[in-house]
Amino acid sequence: MELLSPLLGGIGLLGDPLVWVAVLAGTVFGVIAGAMPGIGTTLAYGLVLPFTFVMPPVIGVAFLLSISVGVGYGNSIPAILMGIPGNPAAILTVIDGHALHKRGEGGVALGISFLAALGGQLVSIPLFVVLVVPLMALAYHFSFPEIFGLYCFGFLALISLAADNLVKGLMSAALGIAIGLVGLDPINMVTRLDFGWREIRSGIDDVALVIGLLALSELFRSARQVFSWQDHSGEARGASFPAFARIRPAIPAMGTGTIVGTLVGAIPGAGATPAAMISYQMARMLSKRPETFGKGSVEGIGANEAAQNASNSGELIPTLGLGIPVSGSMVLLLAALTVQGFVPGPLMVTNAPDLLFAAIAGLLAATIFLLATGWFMARLMLKAVSLDRQVVIVVAITLTLIGVYAINTKVFDVMVAVAAGGVGYFMLRYGYSAPAAALGVFVGKEFERSLRIGLNMNDNSFVEFATRPITAGILLVALGVLIWGAWRRVLMQRRLAAARARDGARETRSHQQETQE
C-alpha cells in the first residue's frame, strides 16, 4: 500500500453521510463522557459497544474513534474551569489550566487547550499513516512464530510499562490467558476446563469478559464513594478566545507534544497519560521560561493537550498495523471488530483496508467537527459535570449489562460480565493489571495457537522456532522491555528508600534541636 492511499481512502469516506452521522454522535458523546470525571475512553467504548454491532464495520470504527477524539478534548474543560481532571491524563491540564482560570485567564487556557487538542489530532493523522503503512507491509513476513513473538512483546510491554507491580502484571496476564483458553482446544478439539458446563464448552464470550474487566470494574470501584461533581464550582462566562500573540509561545510545545504523543501512544501500555507527562517535561526542558510550568504555563497546556490527542492516532499504529491492542480502549475496538467477523492479527487491515480508511475518516471528521463547534461546546459541557454522579454510575452499569446481553442474547454472558467486573474491581484496587488480563482474554487463544502451530511448522523444534530471524528479534526486544521494566522499578524503589531515609534523618535532626532547646 502506498503512503497516500490510506489518506485518500479516509478522505473519500467523508463523502458518506452515514460516516458523518456516526462521527457527530460519537464526538458529542465523547466530549460529554470526557467532561464527566472518571469516564475515560475505555468506559465510553464499553457503554456504546452494543450499538456498533448493528453498524457496518467502517461506520463502527469511525464512530468509536470519534469518541476518542471527543474524550481527549472533553476532559480538558472541567480540568481548566473546575480543577477536576476527567481522567489521569488531564491532571497536568488542571495544574496549569486551572491556575490560569483562577487568575481570570480561563479563556486563554480553554483556547490553547482547544487548539492544541485539535492541532495535535490533525497533525498526528499523517504521522500515523507514515508509521502504520510500513508496519502493514511487514505483515507479509509474519507467520505463526512471528505472531507469537508479537503477542509476547505486547504482553511484556504492557506489563512492564503500565502495571504497578511487575509480578502482579504477569499474574494478571496469566489469569486472562487461562480464562481465554477455556473451551475447545484449537489443535485436538478436546474440551478444557469446562467443568461439565455446557455454556462454556466452546469458550467464554471474550467481549463479555473484557467489558466486565475494563468497564464494570471501574464502575463498581466508583460506587465506593458517594459525592457530587457539583461540589466544585466553575464558570466559563466571559471567556473569550485568546489573541494570537498569547497563543504563539505555545506553538512549538504543541509540535513537540504531537510527535511525542504519536510515538508514545504506539507503545503498548503507554497511552495518553505517559505521553502527556513526557511531552510536558520536554516542553519544560526546551522552554525559555521553565519557571512558569505548574503555575499557569501556556506551553505546558499546549504540550500535554496535543500529546493526549495525538496518542489516539499512536495507539492505532500497533492495533491496526499488527493486530496488537495496546490499551483497554483498543482491546474493545478489536472486540467490536471480532463480533463483526474480523480476525485480529497482522493481516487484518491488509485484508480489509477499509478499516484503516475508516479510522482515518473517524479521526479526521471528528477533528473537523470539533474545530467548528468545540469552542461553543466548552460552555455547554460544564452541564455534564452538573449531572448527578450516582445516577450516571447506575445508568452506566445497567446500560453495560444490557449491552452485554445484546451481543448474543444470553443471560449467561451478563453473569460472566458481572463476575469479571468483580474480579476486575479487586485487580484495580490492589495493583493488578486489568488491561493485561483483558489482553490475555482477548488474544489468549491465538497466542497459544500461534505457538503450537508455529512449532508444528518448524519440526516441533523450539530452537528452530525461536531462531527464525524476525521471531528472535521480536523476542529479544520483548525480553529487553521486561528487563528494562524490572530495572526501572528497582531504581524507583531505591529512590523512594533514599527519600525515606532523608526524611527520617531530617525528622531526627529537628527532634534533637527541639530537645536541645
Partner 1 sequence: MERRVDLIVALAMALVGLGMIWAASGIKSGMMRDPIGPRAAFYICGGMLAAGGLWVAAGNLGIGRKTRAESDANEGVADEAGIPASAPRAFALMAGAAAFSVALKPAGFLIATPLFMAFALVLLGKRGLAGVVVVPVAFTIVTYLVFSSALGVRLPLGPLTDMFRALGWVAL
Q: Which of residues 475-504 bind partner 1 (CB under 8 A)?
A: 489, 492-493, 496-497, 500
Torsion 153-156-160-163 (CA) sign: positive
Where does this chain touch partner 1 (CB under 8 A) — which range of 179-187, 347-355, 375-383, 466-474?
179-187
User: Residue from 181, 336, 355, 360 that binds partner 1 (CB under 8 A)?
Assistant: 181
Interacting positions 54-83 with partner 1 (CB under 8 A)? 54
Task: Tell me the closest approach of the beta carbon of residue 181 to partner 1, in angstroms.
Answer: 6
- Rounded to 10 deg, the angle between the 298-321 and 106-138 helix axes is 20
Which one among 26, 30, 50, 120 touches partner 1, defined by CB under 8 A? 50
Closest contact distance (angstroms) between CB of 219 and partner 1 is: 8
Residues 374-393, interacting with partner 1 (CB under 8 A):
388, 390-391, 393
CA angle 180, 272, 303 (to 5 degrees): 170
CA dihedral of 430, 436, 440, 446, whole degrees rounded to 10: -170
Q: How far apart are CA 348 and CA 154, in angstroms?
A: 17
Q: Which of 275, 277, 279, 272 is nearest to 254 (CA)?
A: 279
Q: Least Å distance between CB 247 and partner 1?
A: 34
Q: Which position among 130, 399, 457, 472 is part of the footprint of partner 1 (CB under 8 A)?
A: 399
| Interhelix angle 57-74/41-52, nearest 10 degrees | 160
CB nearer to partner 1: give 140 or 426.
426
User: Which parts of 207-246 interact with partner 1 (CB under 8 A)?
Assistant: 216, 220-221, 223-227
Q: Does 168 bind partner 1 (CB under 8 A)?
A: yes
* DSSP single-letter state for residue 191: E
- State yes or no: residue 193 binds partner 1 (CB under 8 A): yes
Q: Which is nearer to partner 1, 460 or 467 (CB)?
A: 460
451 is a contact residue toward partner 1 (CB under 8 A) = yes
User: b/e for 91-120, b at 16 or more Cβ within 10 A?
Assistant: ebbbbbbbbbbeeebbbbbbbbbbbbbbbb
Which of residues 189 and 245 has its CB atom nearest to partner 1 in the complex? 189
Q: Between residue 126 and residue 155, which ones bind partner 1 under the rule CB under 8 A?
A: none
Residue 246 or 489 with smaller CB distance to partner 1: 489
The least distance separating partner 1 from the CB of residue 454, rounded to whole angstroms, comes to: 10
Of 169, 265, 156, 262, which Cα lies nearest the Cα of 484?
A: 156
Query: What is the length of the chain?
Result: 517
- Interface residue with partner 1 among 2, 15, 190, 237 (CB under 8 A) is 190
Least Cβ distance, residue 165 to partner 1 (angstroms): 5
Of the ranges 49-57, 101-109, 246-254, 507-515, which one interacts with partner 1 (CB under 8 A)?
Answer: 49-57
| Selected range binding partner 1 among 104-112, 191-199, 264-272, 288-296, rule: CB under 8 A | 191-199
Q: Which stretch in 167-175, 269-277, 287-295, 315-323 sits in contact with partner 1 by CB under 8 A?
A: 167-175
Q: How far apart are CA 93 and CA 77, in angstroms?
A: 9
Q: How far apart are CA 379 and CA 91, in angstroms?
A: 20
Q: Which of 3, 137, 243, 395 binds partner 1 (CB under 8 A)?
A: 395
Dihedral pair phi/psi, residue 46, rounded to 5° = -60, -40
Residues 404-433 that bind partner 1 (CB under 8 A): 405-406, 409, 411, 414-415, 417-419, 421-422, 425-426, 428-432
How far is it, in rounded angstroms, from Cα 133 to Cα 513? 66
Q: Is 201 in the site for partner 1 (CB under 8 A)?
A: no
- Which helix (H) or strand (E) covers residue 183, if one does? strand 183-184
Residue from 10, 61, 52, 58 nearest 361 by CA = 10
CB of 104 to partner 1, least distance (A): 27
- Closer of 64 and 260 to partner 1 (Cβ): 64
Can you tell me the distance from the alpha carbon of 326 to that of 295, in angstroms, rounded to the nearest whole number?
Answer: 33
Task: Report the SS3 class of residue 440.
Answer: helix
- Among residues 93, 15, 75, 11, which one has the least CA distance to residue 39? 75
Measured from the CB atom, the residue of 257 and 269 that comes closer to partner 1 is: 269
